[in-house]
Amino acid sequence: MRIVSLLPSTTEIVAALGRKNKLVGRSHECDFPDGISELPVCTEPKFNPDGTSYEIDQRVKALLQEGLSVYRVNQEQLKELNPDVIITQDHCEVCAVSLDEVKKAVQSSVGDHVEVISVSPTDLSSVVRSIRTIAEAINASEQAEKVMQQMKSELLHIQNKTTTLNHPDILAIEWLDPLMAAGNWVPELIQLAGGRALGAEAGKHSPWLEWKSIQKWNPDIITIIPCGYDIDQSLSELSPLTSQKGWKELDAVRNKQVFVADGNHFFNRPGPRLVESTRILAEIMHPASFEKPNQNSGRWINLAKHQFHKKIQQI
């Protein structure tokens, strides 16, 4: 079996199911686990991905307003790889190549023998369904049960540790300019980790935020996890948030409870590593109950303790 995965989360799911060696192609964003980056790339963005979060947002919106897909499929690459299964998504036009775009590419370059599997996770239960759907398509149902049982066990362990603890109000920010709260599965992760999510609902798309709403909520904790951004990228984009009038008066800022985490790897990918995402949130909210990670782990940082903090405070 020859598998092409066009989404980082589905690539991780295929690998977790023990079928990494069956992958023959990937999306331009697939980079986990080790060795995946060596596979041929089958997609690319139709916009320039470099620039500020505002510039990226404007480029993506311009494409969508014209009725265009945000990403393109390399049809010649697909034809050369000749896959049996192609895995994509139909949840978000901005996250990855669209289902329609994949179907057009398959019809034009590969043929009817290819099975196109599309998943649409919006919450934890649909993440589980996605794992089952992919497993059935690649003959890995037995492995899927093990993966899901392990996820369930680890999430339950975290939940049990936080049930009796104080549950802070936490705002998870998924985009910085314009501001957006983290929806979909993130509110559930926050709840499991022992917190109360502000600004977004589980199972619903991430909503845009008004600054006055953030001031009204006055969260106990703020986590910054922009979609597709690692920690360094997020740090370079903080100005639209930290320059807001009243930023320094927020309880989370005054109490040094603003955190930046790797959104790209740990929060934006609906797959097995959502367990790690939940643990990161638990470490942030309940540091006395969870072992502190190595300072060089690259998972999250406390903004107040970071070397860029003084520079940010001067903005």
| pLDDT tens, residue order, the chain (315 aa) | 999 999 999 999 999 999 999 999 999 999 999 999 999 999 988 777 888 888 888 887 786 676 556 788 899 999 999 999 999 887 666 555 667 777 777 777 777 788 999 998 999 999 999 999 999 999 999 999 999 999 999 999 999 999 999 999 999 999 999 999 999 999 999 999 999 999 999 999 999 999 999 999 999 999 999 999 999 999 999 999 999 999 999 999 999 999 999 999 999 999 999 999 999 999 999 999 987 655 446 689 999 877 554 444 443
Fold classification of 164-313 is: Rossmann fold (3.40.50)
Name the DSSP letter for residue 5: E
**Quick one: 3-146 is in which CATH superfamily?**
Nitrogenase molybdenum iron protein domain (3.40.50.1980)
Instruction: Give the pLDDT confidence score for residue 239 in this predicted structure.
Output: 93
On whether the CB atoms of residues 18 and 140 are closer than 8 A, the answer is: yes
Q: Structure tokens of 144?
A: 């899927």
Going by DSSP bridges, is the β-strand pair 71-73/43-45 parallel, antiparallel, or unpaired? antiparallel
Q: Residue 296: its pLDDT value, please?
A: 46
The packing angle between helices 124-137 and 8-16, to 10°, is 60
Per-residue pLDDT, 134: 97
CA dihedral of 177, 181, 186, 188, whole degrees rounded to 10: 180
Q: What pLDDT does residue 110 have?
A: 77
Residue 69 contacts residue 101 (beta carbons within 8 Å)? yes
Task: Give the tokens for residue 271.
Answer: 């797959």
Q: What is the C-alpha separation between 70 and 93, in angstroms, rounded?
A: 7
Looking up tokens 């919006």, which residue turns up? Answer: 122
Residues carrying CATH 3.40.50.1980, the chain = 3-146, 164-313
Widest CA span of the chain, in angstroms? 60
Q: Give dist(CA 154, CA 275) in Å, integer.
A: 7
Distance CA 262, CA 293 (A): 14
Please name the residue that has the structure tokens 């109000």.
Answer: 169
pLDDT at position 166:
94
Separation CA 144–CA 104 (nearest Å): 30
* Range 75-81 contact pairs with CB under 8 angstroms and sequence separation of 24 or more: 75/105, 75/108, 75/109, 76/109, 77/25, 77/40, 77/41, 77/42, 78/4, 78/25, 78/42, 78/105, 78/106, 78/109, 78/110, 79/109, 79/110, 80/40, 81/2, 81/4, 81/24, 81/25, 81/40, 81/42
**CA-to-CA separations, 124 to 1, 259, 262, 265, in angstroms, rounded:** 28, 23, 19, 17
